[in-house]
Amino acid sequence: MQIVGICRFSLLGRGDWRPYRDKPESDVEAIAAEQAKKLFSADRMERRLATFEHITLASLRAQTDQDFVFIVAASQLMPKEYQERLIEICAAVPQVVLRFFPLTHIGAAQAAVFAELGMTYKDALQFRLDDDDAICVDFIRRKRLTVEKLVPSSFPFSVSFRQVMFSSQGGKNAGVYLWEAPFLGVGVALWHPDKSIFAFGHFALAKRFTSIIIPGGMALVTHSGLNDTLFDARRIKRQNMVRMDDAAVAANCASQFPFLTETGKSIAGLPVAGPKTH
């Protein structure tokens, strides 16, 4: 069984982002042109390249089980200077397969890479991961141990850890929170004989298919002013997020995310050790 991660890195085309919802196919090109102005702004690209290198790819390099493939689907419309930097960053992780696409849906991009590499859905456990989030250090190993006796299966199933460490930067609600959020779209996995994980909403995976929650383990989600998701007091209350103190954050970093350097922690909005005093 192959374990295959898929990441959209500023991929332009119809997707599950808000601007595309309920819009006809004829509007996609115009919407994408507007999205390109935001996606490829200097501030956003610098931020995403930093999070991708120091958080996302760092979590892949540190995996205790290195037997996996990680597909990165990016846009051909990305400015060349950023394409070149993305190529350089990805080259440091041998499991990464980076491809640039014209306007497309992530499912179509994934299918193209699967065909190129001779992969089939029935032989792969797919997981999704964004370019500013991270998986815990033993993510691949624990997913494999959990599902290897279930594949091949006669029915689709989804797999997730339960907890998320959510770091929000900026604003009055800035801080690090513990969040019970199984099947959030960060590391959530699906085995399906013939469909992409992106054919389904991530929370819908647990409702549509047999679902498995692996105890322990967690994901790291970062949130900044450049995300398109709202983070306010109502969301914190509604989703039962609990603010973590520095000691709890440090403990999780040591056990789940030991690959985070001081630079990575700073980019993620996590507490960074201050200078030692005598």
- Is-contact 98 158, C-beta < 8 A? no
Give the model's pLDDT for residue 19.
58
Q: For residue range 140-150, what is the model confidence (pLDDT) as tens digits? A: 999 999 998 78
Could you report the per-residue pLDDT of 75-88, keeping only the tens digit for each?
999 999 999 999 99
Mention every residue, 6+ apart, whose C-beta is less than 8 A from residue 160: 182, 183, 184, 187, 188, 189, 205, 206, 211, 212, 213, 214
How many domains is the chain partitioned into structurally? 1
101-126 pLDDT tens trace: 999 999 999 999 999 999 999 999 99
Query: What would the two tokens of residue 133 be?
Result: 């989030």
Q: Is 71 part of any domain?
A: yes
Domain with residue 19: its CATH number is 3.90.550
What is the model's pLDDT at position 278?
A: 47
Task: Please check whether residue 133 is in contact with residue 264, taking contact to mean a CB–CB distance below 8 angstroms.
Answer: no
> Residue 35 — very low, low, confident or very high, per pLDDT cuts 50/70/90?
confident
Domain membership flag for residue 274: no
* Cβ(98)–Cβ(74) below 8 Å: yes
- 208 within domain boundaries: yes
Please give the DSSP secondary-structure letter assigned to residue 187.
T
29 in a domain, yes or no?
Answer: yes
pTM of the model: 0.92
Is the model more confident about 14 or about 147? 147
CA 5 vs. chain centroid, Å, equals: 9
* Range of the structural domain that residue 62 is part of: 2-268
pLDDT band for position 29 (cuts 50, 70, 90):
confident
